[in-house]
Amino acid sequence: MFEVHSLRIGELYLPQGGKIHRDPVHVWLVTDGRQHFLVDSGMTDIARIEEMLKVSGWGGGHAALRARLAEHGLTPDDISHLILTHMHFDHADNTDLFPNSCVVVQREELFHAIDPTPSQRPFFKGHIMAELLSRKRPKGLRLVDGDFDLVEGIQVLHVPSHTPGMQVPIVTTAKGKVALVSDLGDHYKYWYPADPRATDKPTRYLSDTFLPGPIRSESERDWAAAMQRVMDHTDIVVPAHDFRIPTHMPEDWWAIPDSTEGDIAFVPPQQSDAIAF
Ligand SMILES: [Zn+2]
């Protein structure tokens, strides 16, 4: 049986409607004590992010990843596979820290990264693609087409939505299945748009469906169908950029958080936030 640890490796501070929105950046350690997998590899260090995108924040890069893994007694060499949910800059950088791991990505995602839908061009970075292409195949890079089982207990669904090659790992734990949904719905409000625990603005007419996020390469219908397909295969979902996600599953376990506190946060953060979690 696997356990899943949410590792917060930094935050992005995104200007939005006159305020600065805090966006936590996570990767996930999936381990049974013998085999260790990482879901996403996060963003580069914040100084480089500021240069590339003119966005500030904290953390990121090799140092943050090493530090978070060390808290679990691990080094990058202990990670056998790196499953990239998609190739946006805040999910797929730092792969050079894992020269001995196998990166697993949908073939379609790699092609999409070369020529994204126009509105997504800023989110794909050439150096991320170049690092993947420099890896030995199939030992260092495995391109997959559609759904597959990585090992027993880690099922991966191909769910075109946010990007065409989006994939969601579903991990079997002692308590049930955990879907690491990444940006297929990066806050609980997208999964439970009518529930007042998930969002300050519950929308009753969406009670039987989902709310696709704002950055879309696929249609709203396809996206909602992808979310439904994930829900049909899992017990809980863990969104990528919500402050309310469980840190350790199955020890922490919830489908919907208790309240909306932590759904959206704004700069300035509390003094302790950068080191908490
Ligand atoms: Zn993201």
pLDDT digits (tens, 9 = 90+) for 158-178: 999 999 999 999 999 999 999
Give the Å distance between the CA of 121 and the centre of ligand 1: 14
Is residue 150 within 8 A of residue 169, CB to CB? The reply is yes
The neighbourhood of ligand 1, an ion, using CB within 5 A, equals 90, 183
Tokens standing for 135?
């890896």
Q: Which residue has the higher pLDDT, 17 or 30?
A: 30
* Domains in the chain, number: 1
Reported as a single tens digit per residue, the pLDDT across 245-275 is 999 999 999 999 999 998 988 887 765 555 4
Give Cβ neighbours of residue 168 (< 8 Å, ≥ 6 apart).
Answer: 85, 156, 157, 159, 179, 180, 181, 182, 184, 230
Amino acid at 120: Q
Give the Å distance between the CA of 88 and the centre of ligand 1: 7
Give the Å distance between the CA of 85 and the centre of ligand 1: 10
Give the Å distance between the CA of 185 and the centre of ligand 1: 10
Tell me what the pLDDT averaged over the chain comes to: 95
- Cβ neighbour number for residue 138 with a 10 Å cutoff: 10
Q: Can you point out the beta strands (E) in 123-262? A: 141-144, 148-151, 154-158, 167-172, 177-182, 236-239, 248-249
Domain coverage including residue 132:
3-266
CATH number of the domain to which 221 belongs: 3.60.15.10
Reported as a single tens digit per residue, the pLDDT across 74-112 is 999 999 999 999 999 999 999 999 999 999 999 999 999
Question: Residue 46: inside a domain, yes or no?
Answer: yes
Question: Residue 245: inside a domain, yes or no?
Answer: yes
Cα 163 to the center of its chain, rounded Å: 13
Question: Residue 274: inside a domain, yes or no?
Answer: no
Give the Å distance between the CA of 263 and the centre of ligand 1: 15
Residue 276 has pLDDT above 80, yes or no: no
